Amino acid sequence: MSFRRSLLGATLLTSVFAMPALAENTFNFAFQGSLKSLDPYSLNETFTLGTLGNVYEGLTRRDPELKIIPGLAESWEVVEPTRWRFHLRKGVKFHNGNDFTAADVVFSADRVRSEGSDLKTRIPADAKFEIVDDYTVDVVLSSPNPILHYEWDTWGIIDKEWAEANDSVRVTSASDQAATPISLQSNGTGAFKITKHDGGVNTTLVSNADWWNAANKKYNVDTVEFSTISSDATRVAALLSNEMDLVYPIPVQDIKRVESNATTAAMTGPELRTIFLGMDQKRDELLYSNIKGKNPFKDQRVREAFYHAIDIEAIKAKVMRNLSTPSSLMISPFMFENAAKIERLSYDPDVSKKLLEEAGYPDGFEVSMDCPNDRYVNDEAICQAVTAMLARVGVKVNLNAQPKAQYFAKVLASGGFDTSFYLLGWTPGSFDSWNVLSNLIGCRDDAGNGGMFNLGGYCNEDVDALTNQVLVESDPNKRLDLITQAYQILAAESGYIPLHQQGLAWGVADGVDLKQRADNVLMLYHVNKK
């Protein structure tokens, strides 16, 4: 009897002591922007796709160094140049318990290209998906495409059966009269499931014990609480007050404060986004300048003069507080192996003045500059610095800095490219140069067909020809060579003035271990908390 009693006592005691081990390990993080709709195809934006990437998985994944690794497809091969074969992972279950099969892949491929989807560029419109067996899918293309799967990590697979049962086959669009279930709840295959979602406020995710990769899981958090904190000061305060384990981004001027605080640290690194200046080279007369009857930016000497006038090291030291990497390219060197072959024009105001004089502007001229003030890191301050630097060589810049909504409405195609000189940032979603070449450097017409984000209308037919070759060239070395040639032509003509890759700055509490990806995406399966 007494033995029994002591056994009972011991059991009770163990259970009491076992309690802390069972305690939930909650990871709290805050980001500047918000998670709106949960439909994984309704917005092509890094934070939304990145966060939903913890819930919905693609056929591929990207590792912390952004290398493509297998996701829901265990492997794939190019059977012939226009036929890719994907071997799907077996034994994967959706959060509702349904099996993941080839039918789900085909369904998702149709859905991602359907009306209302913002991710249509993930798959060529005429690509056909064929089911070979339950765990093998063939993709048949009309022309070879070496980078077919580059963005497939952000195209998450949806359960066909669940979507059909829940009126979620169509992609939620703003012209709908009611929200679809898939925009309010989720059912993916990922390591985390969403249990509560209050759009624009907070979202709760819990660890998925049945994840296919649970046996090798490298994270120890059970619950993740995400909150939107849009005010910079409040976001930093929430970290310093120990309410948050991670907040991002941290304004560059607060990095020191986060570093000097005893229980937090700043995690910094280069981001993929390139910030650059563009000039209207298309119109015969600039819209906003005192020079009438001609367009000074059509003269290469003027563009070079602008380039030589920019003291990029000063911008780095003073405006970016050293959290930037000066760049000579329109793409991050991270995504282009021959980056060293192209160099920046030197900072030299004297050369700049001489070039302006040769071009026929000995006293400079006047031009307006469009600049966002809430889009990129210290965007307005960069523009102010550029304005001051150009003033030194005699060019009077009238700065027009506006919130992003007004800025983009003015300078993009919808506003008729209404700008003469502007600052813009670009990250190629595919991590590949073709995106940059076609969107930023390709010739365009007045409506914007062609290089839709080539706001200044730079145009060189040789570059366009190279871009078309890059699209279909399968040999990696030849492809790299074509890309390099295109960038060299652009640099030789000073078609753009690249400034820098801005930096990432995350504020992390002590005891939290995570991986910062250069695309500013947080994968929750890299998070460990003491």
Partner 1 sequence: MLAFIIRRLVQSIVVMLVVSLIAFIMFRFVGDPVDQMVGLETTLEERAKLREQLGLNDPLPVQFWHFVSKAAQGNLGISYQFKRPVLQMIGDRLPATLELSFVSALFALLAGIPMGVYTALRRESILSKLFLTISLIGISLPTFLIGIILIFIFAVHLQWLPSFGRGKVVDLGWWSTGFLTVSGLKALILPSITLGLFQMTLIMRLVRSEMMEVLRTDFIKFARARGLSNRAVHFGHALKNTMVPVITITGLQLGSIIAFAIITETVFQWPGMGLLFLQAVQNVDIPIMAAYLLLIAFLFVTINLIVDLLYVMVDPRIRIEGKEA
Q: Which residues bind partner 1 (CB under 8 A)?
A: 30, 34, 36-37, 39, 42-45, 118-121, 172-179, 183-184, 198-202, 227-231, 233-235, 237-238, 240-243, 374, 403-406, 408-409, 412-415, 429, 435, 439, 447-449, 452-453
64: cis peptide before it, omega within 30°? no
Q: Which residues pair with 128 in a beta bridge?
A: 140
DSSP 8-state assignment for residue 352:
H
**Residue 117 CB neighbour total at 10 angstroms:** 23
DSSP per residue, 185-205:
----SSSEEEEEEETTTEEEE
Nearer Cβ to partner 1 (38/491): 38
Cite the DSSP H helix spans in 23-101: 46-52
Rounded Cα–Cα distance for residues 59 and 69 (Å): 9
Type of residue found at 505: A
Rounded Cα–Cα distance for residues 293 and 272 (Å): 39
Dihedral angle computed from the Cα positions of residues 417, 419, 423 and 425, in that order, rounded to the nearest 10 degrees = 0
The CB-of-499 to partner 1 minimum distance in angstroms stands at 19
Token pair for 496: 């753009």
Rounded Cα–Cα distance for residues 441 and 495 (Å): 8
The CB-of-406 to partner 1 minimum distance in angstroms stands at 5
DSSP helix/strand/coil, 299: coil
Rounded Cα–Cα distance for residues 287 and 277 (Å): 17
Nearer Cβ to partner 1 (225/493): 225
Token pair for 24: 């939930």
Token pair for 388: 């001051």
Nearer Cβ to partner 1 (118/348): 118
The CB-of-301 to partner 1 minimum distance in angstroms stands at 32
Nearer Cβ to partner 1 (148/319): 148
- Residue 169 sits at φ, ψ, to 5 deg, of -70, -40
The CB-of-126 to partner 1 minimum distance in angstroms stands at 15
The CB-of-246 to partner 1 minimum distance in angstroms stands at 14
The CB-of-192 to partner 1 minimum distance in angstroms stands at 21
**Residue 68 CB neighbour total at 10 angstroms:** 15
Q: 166: burial class by Cβ within 10 Å (0-12, 13-18, 19+)? A: middle
Nearer Cβ to partner 1 (54/183): 183
Nearer Cβ to partner 1 (359/412): 412
Rounded Cα–Cα distance for residues 3 and 9 (Å): 10
The CB-of-435 to partner 1 minimum distance in angstroms stands at 8
Nearer Cβ to partner 1 (76/248): 248
Q: Which residues pair with 448 in a beta bridge?
A: none
The CB-of-41 to partner 1 minimum distance in angstroms stands at 11
Nearer Cβ to partner 1 (87/120): 120
The CB-of-219 to partner 1 minimum distance in angstroms stands at 25
The CB-of-184 to partner 1 minimum distance in angstroms stands at 8
Q: Which residues pair with 197 in a beta bridge?
A: 203
Nearer Cβ to partner 1 (311/370): 370
Rounded Cα–Cα distance for residues 72 and 502 (Å): 32
Nearer Cβ to partner 1 (200/476): 200
